[in-house]
Structure 1
Amino acid sequence: MDSLGPVYPPGHTALLLVDPYNDFLSEGGKFWPRLADVAGAVDLLANLRRIRQAIRCARWPLFFVPHHRAMPNDFDRWQHPTPWQQVTSQAQAFGKNSWGGQWHPHFMPEPGDTVAKEHWGANGFVGTDLDLLLKQQRISHVVVVGVIANTCIETTARHASELGYHVTLVTDATAALSHDAMFYAHEVNGPTYAHALLTTREFLARVPFTTDP
């Protein structure tokens, strides 16, 4: 952990927004009822909006890190699909060409944003072009937000650390299916690999706002 707090070098810091789908973040989404308690407790949606606005003002790049959009029988020929893959497949969560698999209306890619290839498991790097895309933009520091804290956020952020990136977790800009899962993701596991764990307020205090045209 950084003893004096993280420093984010201009031009080399990016926000990774993981899985901002309707099925996770919108009323009527398949997993929203299970996320809503924790999301409400940390003010997830408002914090994500604040962070996105701040990084736009600071002109930091935004990378979308999307989960595979489900189709029927995705895992029929897989030898060892994970329990989570089986659950999401049975529910057809973030279904391809479905409302649930569309971006939440407040978190849609805009011109200049980068959308990585979809990840099949919990890791935004495995089987995708995320590492290549980050390196092509000379990114060394990543700030990871989105859902779910103890699955895709933790796995993607841990892998980023293994690849040599400086990793920041914004602890109230994510959510999990239970408060216990949030606790272990941030209080137990996060400090073993993340270089900084900040609240939204703490993170925004380190983002250099600009009003330049």
Structure 2
Amino acid sequence: MTATTYPQGATALLCIDPYNDFLAEGGKMWSALSEVATSVGLHDNLAKIRATARGVGLPIFILPHHRHEATDFSGWAHLTPSQAAAHEYQLFAEGSWGGKWYDGFGPDEGDIVVKEHWGASSFANTDLDMQLRQRGITHVIFIGLIANTCVETSARQAAELGYHVTLVRDATAAMSPEAMHAAHEINGPTYAHAILTTAEVMAQLGAKDAA
């Protein structure tokens, strides 16, 4: 892929599902994600890229999954397998510790928290597209979880809507190395404009400590 530049005032960092259930020891999905997350240095990379974005004035958008309640999906005809599993485990349950932001990765002052998504796409039935366009955003950098589900689905739709899309291969995780490989080596190159490491994104953004 060709070198990517990120226009000031038109680039945003999009962080998907920074919940305890994904990122914290004791979270409902941490045991399934921990091997890959640890291998790529997920927590450190998320912290670095978020700090870099703030340092260069990029807006940060938090893209949260719906926080489950026991009565969700009552009467629904076509739950996806992921929705059914998440509902069974009450992932990110409303009012629970697992449904709270992981310490340091939730919204800070000035961040934009978009409406919760019910499926894998952060665009479907939310205000994300409107929030981005109203702020003149054309370039979106995706981080968060999970690489081959919510990140991939959201990033694909961003590309379909005309945004310039960057995936950050070590600022996400999946439940297996094979899923990570599929997300970044097989599927990602069919739609993403750039697939970079955290250090590469930081360098492109002009961070002094990108090495």
TM-score range, shorter chain: over 0.9
Calculate the TM-score normalised by the size of structure 1.
Answer: 0.96
In structure 2, C-alpha distance between the alignment counterparts of 1:209 and 1:150, rounded to whole Å: 28
What CA deviation, in whole Å up to 9, does each residue of 1:80-125 have, x standing for no partner?
A: 1001101110100100111100000111211110000000000000
The answer to whether residue 59 in structure 2 is matched with residue 68 in structure 1 is no
The answer to whether residue 19 in structure 2 is matched with residue 21 in structure 1 is yes
SS at match of 1:126: coil
1:92 corresponds to which residue?
90
After TM superposition, the structure 1 = structure 2 runs for residues 1-150 of structure 1, keeping only pairs within 5 Å, are 1=1, 3=2, 5-150=3-148
The answer to whether residue 160 in structure 2 is matched with residue 162 in structure 1 is yes
What CA deviation, in whole Å up to 9, does each residue of 1:15-48 have, x standing for no partner?
A: 0000000000001100000000000000000000
In structure 2, C-alpha distance between the alignment counterparts of 1:73 and 1:178, rounded to whole Å: 31
In structure 2, C-alpha distance between the alignment counterparts of 1:182 and 1:77, rounded to whole Å: 34
1:208 corresponds to which residue?
206
In structure 2, C-alpha distance between the alignment counterparts of 1:76 and 1:176, rounded to whole Å: 29
Offset of residue 73 of structure 1: 2.7
Indicate the RMSD between aligned Cα atoms, in angstroms.
Answer: 0.9
What CA deviation, in whole Å up to 9, does each residue of 1:157-212 have, x standing for no partner?
A: 000000000000000000001111000011000000000000111111111349xx
Q: Which runs of 5+ in 1 are unaligned?
A: none
Which residue of the other structure, out of 187, 194, 198, is the alignment partner of 1:189?
187
Q: Which runs of 5+ in 2 are unaligned?
A: none
In structure 2, C-alpha distance between the alignment counterparts of 1:58 and 1:208, rounded to whole Å: 8
In structure 1, C-alpha distance between the alignment counterparts of 2:143 and 2:106, rounded to whole Å: 14
- The count of aligned residue pairs is 208
SS at match of 2:100: coil
Calculate the TM-score normalised by the size of structure 2.
Answer: 0.97
The residue type paired with residue 104 of structure 1 is Y
Identity of aligned residues (%): 55
In structure 2, C-alpha distance between the alignment counterparts of 1:73 and 1:194, rounded to whole Å: 37
SS at match of 1:205: helix
